[in-house]
Structure 1
Amino acid sequence: MARIEVPTVDDIHRVGRAIGEHAMPGDLVMLNGPLGAGKTTMTQGIADGLGVSEQVSSPTFVIAHIHPGRFDLVHVDAYRLESMDELDALDLDASLEDSLTVVEWGAGKVESLTGSRLEIDIERPVGGDADLDPEDLGADEPRILTLRPHGERAEALADAIRSAVPDLVERT
């Protein structure tokens, strides 16, 4: 497990770009965090690192987008999925081996797709946090990313990310 401090939106994008540059087909990345945490911003960085040329936006209402790059980026928003049947209908396991699959809101829903996955929890300040007034909260508030790799390949990806952004990695 590693913690990365991302002071700005540009830093979230930079971490995402590192993921895209080091990802391999078959990788699964789960992004967890509250609304406005930066999940889609990170996915845009991932797309950048994969060489995706089209615009990446949240797939909230269509559930999934496929973006061609060095290899396909499958971007899923599982927020509205309410059952395993709905997840199965997406047929994510059919493209998993050939793509990088990024799932927002996937906790408790997509872990069974593969034994190897990188979970990234994004913490952002909220109005009740010490020393912050709600009107001071904005897009550029610092976030903490917690990387939780599951499996050998996910561990290698997490190591590559830490190496790519050493200035952001929290020292313990």
Structure 2
Amino acid sequence: MRELGLRLGAALRSGDLVVMTGDLGAGKTTLTQGIGEGLKVRGPITSPTFVIARVHPSLGGGPPLVHVDAYRLGGFAELDDLDLDASAEDAVTIVEWGAGLAEGLADDRLDVVISRGGQDAGEERRVELTGFGARWAALPELFG
């Protein structure tokens, strides 16, 4: 997951929205840690479950990372209260548990769905990347 995150981090830029979905323990935060490493932001990156959102400034002149955990939010109104659109153009925004809530934050987005490989698969994960909007039209070339 961390290696995939490094690859994603190298491709992400200011204004990008990533909406992550997956069961508890699927690897959403580990993927985000790799993205943060790829973006060269200040860490450590930990799950923002109880603080809801954290901002990780860039250490290398790139965009900051806004890391949101929508698990405890009651709906779009609570997500909207975080005022994420104020920094959306200048940052990379990742919303864990954001499916059904965060899609309206940007016209273009990358949906990441992580699933475990099954009971006998150990650490195996399946990751589906789906791009929406013109920004992600070249998704197959980026990660093919």
The residue number in structure 1 matching 2:75 is: 83
Structure 2 gap ranges (5+): none
Does residue 27 (structure 1) correspond to residue 16 (structure 2)? The answer is: yes
- Considering fraction of residues, name the structure with more helix: 1
Cα deviation, 1:118-160, whole Å, max 9, x if unaligned, reads 0011010343xxxx2xxx74xxx11111111101112335632
Give the AA of the match of 2:108.
Answer: S
2:109 to 109, 114, 117: 117
The residue number in structure 1 matching 2:66 is: 74
Give the AA of the match of 1:24.
Answer: R
Does residue 159 (structure 1) correspond to residue 134 (structure 2)? The answer is: no
Could you say which structure has the larger radius of gyration? 1
**Are 1:22 and 1:157, in contact at CA under 8 Å, matched by a contact in 2?**
no
SS of structure 2 residue aligned to 1:44: helix
Does residue 56 (structure 1) correspond to residue 38 (structure 2)? The answer is: no
Counting aligned pairs with the same residue, the percent is 50
Cα distance in 2 for residues equivalent to 1:98 and 1:123:
30
Greater RCO (CA < 8 Å, at least 6 residues apart): 1
Q: TM-score, normalised by structure 2?
A: 0.92
- Give structure 1 regions of 4+ aligned residues with deviation exceeding 2 angstroms: 154-159
Q: TM-score, normalised by structure 1?
A: 0.77
Shift of 1:102: 0.5
Aligned pair in 2 of structure 1 residues 60, 153: CA closer, same or farther (>3 Å)? same
Cα distance in 2 for residues equivalent to 1:76 and 1:157:
23
**Are 1:149 and 1:158, in contact at CA under 8 Å, matched by a contact in 2?**
no
The residue number in structure 2 matching 1:168 is: none
